[in-house]
Amino acid sequence: MTKLWGGRFTKPTNKLVEEYTSSIGFDQKLAVHDIKGSLAHVSMLGECGILSSEEVTTISNGLHTIEKKIAAGEAEFNVADEDIHMNIERMLIEEIGPVGGKLHTGRSRNDQVATDMHLYLKEKTQEFIQQLENVQQALLAQADQHVETIIPGYTHLQRAQPISFAHHLLAYFWMFERDKERLQDSLKRINWSPLGAAALAGTPYPIDRQMTSDALGFDRPYPNSLDAVSDRDFILEFLSISSILITHISRLSEELILWSSQEFDFVELDDAFCTGSSIMPQKKNPDVPELLRGKTGRIYGNLMGLLTLLKGLPLAYNKDMQEDKEGMFDTAETLDGALSLLAPMIETMEVKAHNTRQAVNEDYSNATDIADYLALKGLPFRQAHEIIGQIVLYAINQNKYLLDLSMEEYQKFSPLFEKDIYKKLAPDQVVAARQSEGGTGFEQVKQQLQLAKKALV
């Protein structure tokens, strides 16, 4: 089989070289986008008088036929044709004859592949925005149910202050909201069209780049042909945004794993999202959140891979850039899997409100509130803190919680204590009292829920 670029060569390509340099094994995934780009290109060539309208029709029909064959799994891709671009061109020429060779007029594989990647990522980015919204909806649905479910809030993984469970879930809602904003913003840059930059310098044909840019739904052509074919920032950006996003997913997963352990026992993940042990029959393992946490490695790795790939590359195209694809596909596919599972897993998880409340009843996380109590009575907060420290130590030694201490015991530490201290220390009151903006007070959380719902419409 002769190469599409064979004219200058006198020897056939070494088989190993063919294998080594080809990308068809993975860039097949760009077939739809490649054909879309070619259709826009060929109709522009017609509009600009570079090809006749019969040629345009023949080529377009041929491309549609190939598209159908690929969709039906009837197309045969060859390593000898190196990549998706030349495979499709070869199929086109086989389908419609030598006129198929006119498709590549006024463009190069360099602007072609860049265009394909822009189209691919644009589609994926829009899908991820939608999938993130599903995750947010799931968080909202749970939060709605659990405004008044109280759980221990932690710092240093030590019980700190009790909070509303909805408040905890909504923290993740806002992380995902920022991820969505980042994706949305990246679309501005994904939406530049490289098509027509040709190999690196533009083309002498009287092409119309605005026309192909419009036809493909991009905002504008890249203003610089060298930049158009060398830029992979939009992929870097996608990989960075994905890295931040998977970090959020991983943190949430870690909490689900902790919470579903016997030690915490705050939530139960639905059976459908857990697996068993082949040897210990009592076990129900949180495999899904564990894998979500574990997927972080490859997503960070793909970002590091592309950063490293690009750092020393001179302008414009270099074959190294073929290595930009697998990491991008892998990240996109990994995220797709993660987001599709996350939403239903959150939706179906059971929150053990009785246990979370029990946990709060059996800790000292209302200590800050006694300090605030004394401070409100005029004692400097620092002094109050010191006194409460002693009270907590005393209570621990007596094997009691703060609500179990008698009035006499309290008054031994400060005469400022009165009966109302017991009300102040009740967990519901402790949570409800935190009415500062963005705090965990129930009324604040209800307002926050409203804000979150508004953010989704």
| Residue 148 · residue 431 · CB < 8 Å | no
User: Which residue is catalytic, options 52, 53, 261, 277?
Assistant: 277
User: Quick one: residue 231, left, alpha or beta (phi over 0 = left, psi -120 to 50 = alpha)?
Assistant: beta
Q: Rounded to an integer, what distance in angstroms lies between the CA atom of residue 399 and that of residue 427?
A: 19
User: Hey, what's the torsion of the CAs at 121, 125, 128, 132, to 10 degrees?
Assistant: 160
Q: Could you tell me which of 155, 168, 175 has the C-alpha nearest to residue 431?
A: 168
Q: Select 27 or 363, whichever has its Cβ closest to ligand ARG.
A: 27
- Contact mark string toward ligand ARG, 160..179, x via CB under 6 A: --------------------
- Residue of 87, 213, 242, 322 that binds ligand ARG (CB under 6 A): 322
Q: Rounded to an integer, what distance in angstroms lies between the CA atom of residue 31 and that of residue 37?
A: 10
CB of 106 to ligand ARG, least distance (A): 16
Q: Rounded to an integer, what distance in angstroms lies between the CA atom of residue 390 and that of residue 243?
A: 45
- Judged by CB under 6 A, the stretch of 105-113, 150-158, 230-238, 362-370 that binds ligand ARG is 105-113
Q: Select 23 or 444, whichever has its Cβ closest to ligand ARG.
A: 23
Q: Rounded to an integer, what distance in angstroms lies between the CA atom of residue 192 and that of residue 214?
A: 10
255 binds ligand ARG (CB under 6 A): no
Q: Select 317 or 373, whichever has its Cβ closest to ligand ARG.
A: 317
Q: In the block, which residue shows the tokens 């006749």? A: 52
How many CB atoms are closer than 10 A to CB 280?
8
| Residue 309 · residue 324 · CB < 8 Å | yes
- Judged by CB under 6 A, the stretch of 62-70, 107-115, 140-148, 387-395 that binds ligand ARG is 107-115
448 binds ligand ARG (CB under 6 A): no
CB of 27 to ligand ARG, least distance (A): 6
- Residue of 41, 102, 109, 434 that binds ligand ARG (CB under 6 A): 109
CB of 118 to ligand ARG, least distance (A): 13
DSSP class of residue 275? B
Q: If you compute the radius of gyration of the chain from its CA atoms, what whole number of angstroms results? A: 31
Q: Rounded to an integer, what distance in angstroms lies between the CA atom of residue 255 and that of residue 334?
A: 20
User: Which residue is catalytic, options 156, 278, 406, 436?
Assistant: 156
Q: Select 113 or 215, whichever has its Cβ closest to ligand ARG.
A: 113
Active site residue 108: no
23 binds ligand ARG (CB under 6 A): yes
232 binds ligand ARG (CB under 6 A): no
CB of 317 to ligand ARG, least distance (A): 5
Half-sphere exposure of 70 (CA within 13 A, CB side): 20
- Residue of 317, 373, 410, 417 that binds ligand ARG (CB under 6 A): 317
Q: Could you tell me which of 225, 226, 236 has the C-alpha nearest to residue 189?
A: 236
Active site residue 260: no
- Contact mark string toward ligand ARG, 34..73, x via CB under 6 A: ----------------------------------------
Size of the site for ligand ARG (CB under 6 A): 10
203 binds ligand ARG (CB under 6 A): no
83 binds ligand ARG (CB under 6 A): yes
Q: Could you tell me which of 239, 240, 202, 196 has the C-alpha nearest to residue 218?
A: 196
Backbone angles phi, psi at 269, to 5 degrees: -75, 145
- Residue of 40, 163, 207, 321 that binds ligand ARG (CB under 6 A): 321
The separation between CA 187 and the C-alpha centre of its own chain, rounded to angstroms, equals 14
Site residues (CB under 6 A) for ligand ARG? 23, 27, 83, 109-110, 113, 317, 319, 321-322
**Residues labelled as active-site residues:** 156, 277
